[in-house]
Amino acid sequence: MSSIKHELVLSALKVIRPTKYLKSLVVSAICLGEGKSIENIYVEELTKQYGKDVAKNSEIEYTRDINSLFNKKYSDKDLIILCDIITNNYSNEKNFNCEELFDATISCLKENGYIIIKENLRRHEGPLLTRINKFLQESYLIKFYEMNQIKYSIYMEGNFLDIYWILRREDKTFTDKKKFHFFNFIEEYSLLKADVKTFAGKEFFHFIDYNEKEHWNLLDRFEKLKSGSLMLQIGFTYLHLQTVVRYNNILFLMSPYTETIIDNLLYNQRAKDNRIFYMLANFHLCIFPSNYYDIIFVPNFLHYNEDYERFFKNSYNCLKSGGEILITTLVIGPGSQNQEFDGIVKFHKLYLKSKKEIITFMEKNGFSDIENEQMTNILLIKIKKILENEPSTFTNKKATFLNTYIHSKNLEFILFYENIK
């Protein structure tokens, strides 16, 4: 159990990066187990990473008394860790009030203080995870950093549903409800698989996802795809990520992360594999180690990314020397733009650049000798196959899309590849 405590402490320090003392609180509905206490681990890691002065002046309190949050016993905390409070107070008959818990927790925090919520959902049905995520995405009180899995629970217990969230108290001046666009987008796609033949009217862009064979063809391009390689996968994809690890029936030691893994992937993945870790996070906010990954694979995500420069800066920083990056994305084609095209771009929250602009961003942030390949014809074939199998109510909409945006060259589909020398 001490490893779980260690993971929580390290995750907290990773995002806080203290320059002076920290005031922290741990509230747990369960015993955190034998071994070193979370207080001792906290002091040890502060000393190791930030020096004796920071550790000496910092404080951490631990309690099993959940009511102490509501009784306003604590204040001005930099960090509050909540352990298994929701799962231990929740049932289908008694719907635990997350909002009251958050209100009480936030009242104990400093401005811009952090919250880590850890919940073991192994014995709970899918709706609880969905409800927690829905609450977090809709709350205007907090800023979402990431949702991650406890690795110790995966390795030692085969439990893929011991999950924690990292959050930050939102600034007081922020009053409107936030909209996490990547959450909302993923919710629309959460029930669809890559080979589904029919689509709702809004789901124009799911057809660029890959089936398993297409996924393998892309993976064939990586020279570094071998046993022991570490891979970061970023993007909107429902495809079973185990394909990456079981590539051509060969086992690879890789850890694909993805920015938008959703609830039903955690519950319904075909095979539990402790070499694959799932993360729900904003790539720009998440802190990845430098010079760490052998491969970065970005299938069909870049066009949903608002800050291209920061994306490529972070990507270059993550890759080892000699590492590889492969991106497939929609780009602006040479065709003339029009109001209808602008409308669909805004509706789907696309941030499109031209091929030349993307190459410029890559070169500016350290990439060179970038290969690019036109894949629009492949996209065209995929769309036509979908049209042949769709109900007539949707066919006209898709045919219009095909003629207006693909044949007119408003949109192109491009592959970018770079092997860092």
Per-residue pLDDT of the chain (421 residues; tens, 9 = 90+): 468 999 999 989 988 888 888 999 999 998 887 888 899 999 999 999 988 888 888 999 999 998 888 888 899 999 999 999 988 876 444 555 777 888 889 889 998 899 999 999 888 766 777 778 777 766 767 777 788 888 888 888 888 888 899 988 876 544 344 433 333 333 333 323 322 222 222 334 444 555 666 777 777 788 877 777 788 877 655 444 555 555 555 545 455 544 444 455 555 554 566 666 767 666 666 777 889 888 888 877 788 788 899 889 989 998 998 889 988 888 887 766 666 667 767 766 778 888 899 999 999 999 988 888 887 776 666 555 555 554 444 444 555 555 555 555 656 767 777 777 6
Q: Which CATH number fits the domain 2-169, given the four candidates 3.90.220.20, 3.40.50.150, 3.40.50.2300, 3.90.245.10?
A: 3.40.50.150
Give dist(CA 330, CA 413) in Å, integer: 5
**pLDDT digit string, tens, across residues 288-340:** 788 988 888 887 778 878 889 988 998 999 899 888 998 888 888 776 666 66
Please provide residue 185's backbone torsions phi and psi, each rounded to the nearest 5 degrees: -65, -45
Query: Residue 371 in contact with residue 416, Cβ under 8 Å?
Result: yes
Alpha helices, DSSP H, located in 249-306: 263-268
Residue boundaries of the structural domains of the chain:
2-169, 191-419
Give the H/E segment covering residue 348: none
Give dist(CA 329, CA 237) in Å, integer: 13
So what CATH class is 191-419?
alpha beta
Residue labelled with tokens 């490893």: 3
Instruction: Assess whether the region 2-169 and the region 191-419 belong to the same CATH fold.
Output: yes
